[in-house]
Amino acid sequence: MPLHSIRRPASRFALAIALTAGTAVGLTATATPAFAAKKKEKESAPKANYSKEFVGAYQPFAKKLQDDSTDVATLQAELPQVVAMAKTPDDNFVAGQITYSVGMKAKDLAAQRKGLDMMLDSGKTPAESLATNLFAASQLAYQAKDWNAAISRAQQSIDAGNNKGDPELLIAESWFAQKQPQKGIDALELAISKKEQAGEAVPEAWIKRAVAMSYEGNLKESALKYAGLYAELFPSVNSWGDAIAIERNFYDFEGQSLLDLMRLSMRTNSLRNSRDYVEYFTAADARRLPGETLKVIDAGIAAGQLSASDVTVSEAKSIATSRLSADKSSLPSLASDADKAGASLATINAAGDAFLSYGEAAKAEGYYKRALDKPGVDTPRVLTRLGIALTDQGKYAEAEETFAKVQGERQPIAYLWSIYAKQKAGGATAGNSQ
């Protein structure tokens, strides 16, 4: 998927998703209006009230309209005179029908729209045809870029019971076209909810559209929500990369918070470029977590994103390499100190961090759980890492519960980790496709 430029001034991390405001999701083709069928004789219906003047003008015109040999230009020239004779609501309804029919013959969308509006405004559209005709009118208004009319007619079709063609989607796109992203997202959310409630799969294009328009509209909460949903429903290198990039564009994560988010990038295979790898191993710190630092550097070199000769890379690798053996050797001593009844919070945290970094999640879990009971604990940080340790062990349900408790700055990070844990519980492989 090609990269596209990002419009938000604060954007720092490129997204793979197409962020083009003018690229609407696929709307259905224009609906065909329903015309009233003849009533069965046994059914009673109010007698239509046609004026004598209109009937006199309509009848000869109708014959020409039904004759395929009649030139379209002739019909277009005579139509205004017939329509001008309409006096009653029933006259106006039929005048709308013939206007629409001439528009169809002439492939004139403006005439088709005018005819539909005449029928609808007459108040004589049969109940069984009303929702369909309103939706058709909304689509024609949309094609004419009459956004307010498109919204109004689409909403009227919904109110009339229309459950076909995704009218909420048309409303959303009409709001997006008017640079009102929040109203557009509200409408798109209704369309998505409607699909979910019906037990139908939500189209990927809808979720991508929600991500793109939320992001371009600077709607932080919505962008984070739908970016996460995109990664959840359609896990891939790109969807996970975008979800993480969007969080980084909205939040200035640094240090330990950034480290835990980049750990998710590694697990979802969504580290995209040299900057991602450098910021990851810098956050890990070669002096503090040499094993993880080397793991990231080696992965970056293997991916062709890092060069071993780069000064930043070579210095970090040199420091990590020189400390690795001693760091691993110190683990038993660190564990012994942390296991003591009077161990300090700092010692317990250090043990948890060290074992998590070396992939010993079960040991890390025990230390993080102990740390949570200590006064002065950084609860969001410890909960996040406890959740990571649980996820790495396959304890997905417990991990989700743990991530749900994270508050504050780390909450968005925990949100994405929770989605990852849920995917793993369901057997999904995150970052498994482009």
Model pLDDT for residues 390-410, shown as the tens digit of each residue? 999 999 999 999 999 999 999
15 vs 25: CA distance, rounded Å? 19
Residue found under tokens 């690795």: 324
Model pLDDT for residues 310-328, shown as the tens digit of each residue? 999 999 999 999 999 999 9
CA-nearest of 145, 65, 83, 143 to 119 is 83
202 vs 191: CA distance, rounded Å? 9
Model pLDDT for residues 48-76, shown as the tens digit of each residue? 899 999 999 999 999 999 999 999 999 99
| Whole-angstrom Cα Rg for the chain | 32
Q: At what angle are helices 52-66 and 72-83 packed, to 10 degrees?
A: 170
Residues whose CB falls within 8 Å of the CB of residue 409, separated by 6 or more in sequence, listed in order: 251, 253, 257, 380
Tell me what pLDDT residue 16 has.
76
pTM of the model: 0.84
CA-nearest of 9, 10, 15, 392 to 230 is 15
pLDDT grade for 369, boundaries at 50, 70 and 90? very high
Tell me what pLDDT residue 22 has.
43
291 vs 294: CA distance, rounded Å? 5
Mean pLDDT for the chain overall: 90
With 0-12 / 13-18 / 19 or more C-beta atoms within 10 angstroms meaning exposed / middle / buried, residue 393 is middle
Between residues 186 and 37, the one the model is more confident about: 186
Q: 176 with 213: CB under 8 angstroms? A: yes
Residue type, 394: G
- What is the CA 399 to chain-centroid distance, rounded? 25
Tell me what pLDDT residue 15 has.
77
Q: 17 with 11: CB under 8 angstroms? A: no
CA-nearest of 107, 83, 78 to 96 is 83
Token pair listed for 54:
């209109």
Token pair listed for 262:
């980049």
Q: Which of 16-30, 34-48, 198-212 has the highest mean pLDDT?
A: 198-212
CA-nearest of 241, 233, 269 to 426 is 233
Average of per-residue pLDDT across 4-22: 52
DSSP 8-class letter at 27: P
The sign of the dihedral angle between the CA atoms of 59, 62, 67, 73 is positive
CA-nearest of 91, 112, 85 to 30 is 112
